[in-house]
Amino acid sequence: MLSVSQLSIDYGSNRVVSDLNLTLGENEILMLVGPTGCGKSTILQALAGLIPISEGEINADKWRATRNKSVPPEKRSVGMVFQDFALFPHLTVEQNICFKLKDHSVADHWINLLGLEEFRTKKPATLSGGQKQRVALARTLAHQPDFVLLDEPLSNLDAALKDMLRWDIRNALKNAGVPAIWVTHDQEEALSVGDRVGVLKGGQIQQIDTPEKCFSTPENRFVARFLGEASFIKGTLNNGQALTDIGNVPAHGVDCAQGNVDVLLRPDDVLLVQSSIGNNGEVIWVRFEGGSRLCAIKLACGTVVTSRVSHELVVHPGDNVHVSLSTSHPLAAFKN
Ligand SMILES: Nc1ncnc2c1ncn2[C@@H]1O[C@H](COP(=O)(O)OP(=O)(O)OP(=O)(O)O)[C@@H](O)[C@H]1O
């Protein structure tokens, strides 16, 4: 178990992380997301003991660090996985994994689990990016850390490989029973592989919650926009029901919002139909996504909403269409 309370971190006179509170449960994967420069890597470096903290404390089972009581990285039992793999080029895969390891037999488990058997005697230069990252993860887990910090481990890999490797990393962490904090730029990665997601802005946590809650009931508009396509439509909220120009839906008032609100719409909440009568909007752009199309529709009131439709529905900019709300789950509504 790792817990961080009221943690602040400065670079000189510049405070880049303020009043951070979080706990990492046993066997939990916590994803940290946020725009570039919001302090994600800085938090990982402070947890690893690579940079000093200015306020607050970090508590692990075996140690406690504060501004006045630093604990060196080697005493923290922390494993780190970086985007650039950080392997020793002159050592083989096996030697990299076993580096400074007393019991080499532990390495075999991770070599097998991460599919590295055939590369055991190879040098890193002959491996692909995905294989190198598996070696880096195997090395980290073979050292049996108390927790693992992953700093954008997939950002140097192509899309197809990313998708496969993110599940392999999650499975390996779960197999090891080691909790992890995983920094990513990728909202889809955060929502799909994390047990919880922490959204950061300007060095401050905006929300830490399950992926479902962060996505469906974001605590503010920043979180709503950061975690996927979001549009807002004006409405009136009373007794859990929001009335809008394109339909009435169950809604939940964020911060007890009532009356005039902006209702958060995800593309899957908006139903688009092509019809010759009763149209209420005009398509302004369409993005082909493979199995689906993402369409932006301008309503008569000027509001733009997005809708995701099947690839079978061929829609063009300029088409007049009918959009409505089709959700049975409550949508988040913000005071306007
Ligand atoms: N060594 C340093 N000295 C001074 N300022 C730094 C240093 N490292 C980072 N910063 C600043 O601290 C802020 C947070 O940087 P950090 O690298 O933690 O952000 P990040 O969220 O990880 O960004 P990215 O997603 O681009 O990797 C940024 O404004 C950055 O310019």
Domains, in order of start, for the chain: 2-77+145-216 (3.40.50.300), 230-335 (2.40.50.140)
Q: Is the CB of 211 under 6 A from ligand 1?
A: no
CB of 39 sitting under 6 A from ligand 1:
yes
Contact 251, 261 (CB under 8 A): yes
Closest protein CA for atom 14 of ligand 1? 39
37 within ligand 1 shell (Cβ under 6 A): yes
Reported as half-sphere exposure (CB side, CA atoms, 13 A), residue 59 has a value of 10
Query: pLDDT for 71-107, tens place per residue?
Result: 999 999 999 998 877 889 999 999 999 988 888 888 8
H helix or E strand, kind and range, residue 98 = helix 93-98
C-alpha 214 – ligand 1 centre gap (Å): 24
Distances (CA, A) of 12 to 51, 52, 303: 12, 11, 44
Q: Confirm or reject: Cβ of 42 under 6 Å from ligand 1.
A: yes
Tell me which residue has its CA closest to atom 24 in ligand 1: 36
DSSP state of 256: G
H-type helices in 147-306, by residue range? 159-176, 187-193, 211-216, 221-226
- Centre of ligand 1 to C-alpha 183, Å, is 13
Q: What was the pLDDT predicted at 151?
A: 94
DSSP category for residue 125: G
* Ligand 1 pocket: which of 8, 41, 84, 182 to mutate (most atoms within 8 A of CB): 41
Residue with tokens 């080697």: 74
Q: What is the pLDDT of residues 242-299, one digit of tens each?
A: 999 999 999 999 999 999 999 999 999 999 999 888 899 999 999 999 999 999 999 9
| CA atoms of 155 and 162, how far apart (whole Å) | 8
Q: Give strand pairing partners of 244.
A: 235, 247
Phi-psi region of 255 (alpha: psi -120 to 50; beta: other; left: phi over 0): left
Give 231's contacts (C-beta < 8 A, 6+ positions apart): 264, 265, 270, 303, 304, 305, 306
Among protein residues, the one whose CA lies closest to atom 6 of ligand 1: 11
Q: Which helix (H) or strand (E) holds 321?
A: strand 320-325
Q: Give me the residues paired with residue 33 across strands.
A: 199
Q: Does the Cβ of 35 fall within 6 Å of ligand 1? A: no
- The rounded Å distance from CA 43 to ligand 1 centre is 10
Residues 252, 333: contact at Cβ < 8 Å?
yes
- Please report, rounded to a whole number, the percentage of residues in the chain having pLDDT higher than 70: 100
Find the range with the poorest average confidence among 168-172, 196-200, 250-254: 168-172
Give, using CA atoms, the residue closest to atom 7 of ligand 1.
Answer: 11
Of 13, 14, 42, the one to substitute when testing ligand 1's pocket (max ligand atoms within 8 A of C-beta) is 42
Whole-model pTM above 0.90?
yes
* Residue 304 · residue 288 · CB < 8 Å: no
Q: With 90 as the cut, is the pLDDT of residue 163 above it?
A: no
Count of CB atoms situated within 10 Å of the CB of 311:
11
Which residue, judged by its Cα, is nearest atom 30 of ligand 1?
A: 37
